[in-house]
Amino acid sequence: MERVIERQNNISFVKSTAAAWALASLLLFLAHILGGPLFSIPAAVGGLLAYHLTPRISPAVVLRFYRGVPVTEFQMPGLHRLVKDLATDARLTNAPEIWILPSARSIAFVTGDRQSSAIALSRGILDALTRDELAGVVAHELSHVAHNDSRIMWFSEITVKMVNVLSIIGQLMVLINLPAIFAGEREVSLLLLAVVVTAPVAALLLQLHLLRTREFAADTGSAKLLGSPRPLIQALRKLEGGRSPLLMRWVAGRREQRGHTLLRTHPPVRERICRLKRLESDPRWQRTYTPVTEQELVEMLLPGHGAKVVVLRDREP
């Protein structure tokens, strides 16, 4: 399975890099044809700042906005142990904080970066999933943190907005010069007009492709952390079968979109499951469970405890 994971990681890296470069190139090209160095230099500086100066908003501020409640290790020791172990395996600087959302929907997302992050789980997803299914979802979300996907998402969002602004400027330039164009005093470049009109749509499609690629990478990361793709496969099937929102992440959750694949932030569930199934071909990878402690056993017997999680490990033959 390691070879398949490595190959999929390489493919995701190449696709993500290509999409990011294409997005940045589109921004610079649009800026250049509109204003030459006067526009292209600020656009390049803005793109670099968008990538390197990701705003560090406290996860607590974000999650309180969604009425989240932090839970301590004493309240949910099993969940804390799972997150800490997976964070260690993912080589995160600090284990993410755990917040519970008072929602009946199936919601799971992360916010923050490798230094400071938090994972939010709704009551709905705790009740809907079994222990190992929830482990697959948690591993998926922690993979987003390990891959610094928040920085990539922020870069793509800012770049798309800059492209939209430049497109509006270009359209205004055409409208202002419209009388002179009709009078034959000025000529309008068909290339300029085509780029100005299509650039926002192209930028959005590139952004969505980049987000879908990062989802595939997080799926692979989940399988690698747990030693098996089976927990996430089962979770995806259950959430899709119940028509629940899927793996909501970053700052705000998004519903699984219907319609053409190009217009989705998440890949189709069937495609995600098919890719995960390819990782099951190696029989040497099997799941084992971390023993449940006496404290966790007492916690599981308490009413309204919600679903609890376990750590999944790979075992050598």
Q: Which of 6, 73, 97, 141 is catalytic?
A: 141
Residue with tokens 């030459």: 36
Q: Do 21 and 148 touch, CB atoms closer than 8 A?
A: no
Phi, psi of 211 (to 5 degrees): -65, -40
Helix (H, G, I), strand (E, B) or coil at 254: coil
Is 270:264 a contact under the CB 8 Å cutoff? no
Tokens of 27: 């921004």
Report the C-alpha gap between 129 and 79 in whole angstroms. Answer: 13
How many whole angstroms separate alpha carbon 225 and alpha carbon 267? 21
Q: Tokens 């390049």 sit at which residue?
A: 44
271 annotated active-site? no
Closest CA to 27 of 227, 178, 202, 162: 162
> In what helix (H) or strand (E) does residue 287 lie, and over which residues does it extend?
strand 287-289
From 191, 82, 64, select the one nearest 138 (Cα to Cα). Answer: 82
Contact 87, 95 (CB under 8 A): yes
Q: CA 83, CA 100: separation in Å to the nearest integer? A: 14
Q: How far is CA 176 from each of CA 135, 159, 173, 183, 188, rounded to the nearest angstrom?
A: 58, 26, 5, 13, 12
Active-site positions read 141
